[in-house]
Structure 1
Amino acid sequence: METLDPDLLRTFLAFVDSGSLAQAAANVGRSPSAVTAQMQRLEEIVGEPLLAPQGRGRGLTPAGEDLVGHARRILAVHREAWLALKGARAAGRVAIGTTQDFADSGLPDLLRAFASSHPRVRIELRVGRSAELAQALQAGSLDLAIVMR
């Protein structure tokens, strides 16, 4: 049984997300011919075409469309495993400052994911105004500031 190489899946998703092989090549830092070769290798592994001519470019075949969801899940699990293994060794403290706008929206989920993959890192969160957080960052009391300007 062959396996689905994460590098091939990353390149495949770069094509899916950008819509072109040339842009996918730029996104993954490879030449267009290298990306084409990677897609051909992935098609060999899967056993059927994933891309088909569509106008001036290429589009996904039904098999390609099926692979998109699997590729995203495989890479997500791959990344989670890597982070869990690497994060288990990371220790210390990270001080983050943010405005209320960000503290209320997507930040809680991001911090939860970070905390689960880096259990030995203590997160200190400070919510405040952009100007005061920028000063705290300059002074070194914050490691990261997420502000409006």
Structure 2
Amino acid sequence: MQVLEPNLLKTFLAFADGGSLAQAASIVGRSASAVTTQMQRLEDIVGEPLLVPQGRGRGLTPAGEDLVGHARRILAVHREAWLALKGVRADGRVAIGTTQDFADSGLPELLRTFAASHPRVRIELRVGRSAELAHALQTGILDLMIAMRQAPAPDEVG
């Protein structure tokens, strides 16, 4: 049985998302010829064409279209496994400050996901006003701050 290598799938998705071999090469940090070689290897593994000439470039064949969804799921599970294995080793504390706007919306789910993949990392969350959180960040009490602001900080003007 042939194996769908994650690096080949990453390059394939870079093509599918970018729309061209040149764009895929830019996304994955390889030359266009290296991307072409990777796509040929993936086609050999799959046993049928995934790309078809289309105008001046290439498009996806029906098999290529089918592979897109599978590749996304395979890489998502691969990433989850990697994070679960590596996250178990991470430890320490992360102090996060946020305003109420973010504390009420997507942040709780994001923190739950992080906590599940990094069970030994202690998360300290502080909810407050932007000015007090900015002071806590500057003094090292917070490691990260999530807030909106109206104007650049004084050291950013110029």
TM-score, L = length of structure 1:
0.91
Match of 2:85 in 1: 85
Identity %: 85
Question: Paired residues, what number?
Answer: 149
- Any unmatched runs of 5+ in structure 2? 150-158
Whole-Å separation in 1 of the counterparts to 2:113 and 2:83: 10
Match of 2:105 in 1: 105
TM-score, L = length of structure 2:
0.87
Match of 1:28 in 2: 28
Which segment is superposed worse, 135-144 or 116-125? Answer: 135-144
Could you list the per-position Cα deviations for residues 1-31 of structure 1 after superposition, in whole angstroms to 9, with x for gaps in the alignment?
A: 1101101111111111222211111111111
Task: Quote the RMSD (CA, aligned, Å).
Answer: 1.5
Match of 2:49 in 1: 49
Which segment is superposed worse, 31-40 or 55-64? Answer: 55-64
Whole-Å separation in 2 of the counterparts to 1:55 and 1:6: 29
- Any unmatched runs of 5+ in structure 1? none
Inter-CA distance 55–134: structure 2 relative to 1 (3 Å threshold):
farther
Whole-Å separation in 2 of the counterparts to 1:65 and 1:106: 31
Which segment is superposed worse, 6-15 or 96-105? Answer: 96-105
Whole-Å separation in 2 of the counterparts to 1:41 and 1:140: 50
Q: Flag the structure with larger Rg.
A: 2
How far is 1:117 from its partner? 0.7
Inter-CA distance 49–100: structure 2 relative to 1 (3 Å threshold):
farther
Inter-CA distance 140–19: structure 2 relative to 1 (3 Å threshold):
same
User: 1:86 corresponds to which letter in structure 2?
Assistant: K
Match of 1:3 in 2: 3
How far is 1:120 from its partner? 0.9
Could you list the per-position Cα deviations for residues 59-116 of structure 1 after superposition, in whole angstroms to 9, with x for gaps in the alignment?
A: 1111111111111111111111111111111111111122333323322222111111
- Secondary structure of 1:22's counterpart equals helix
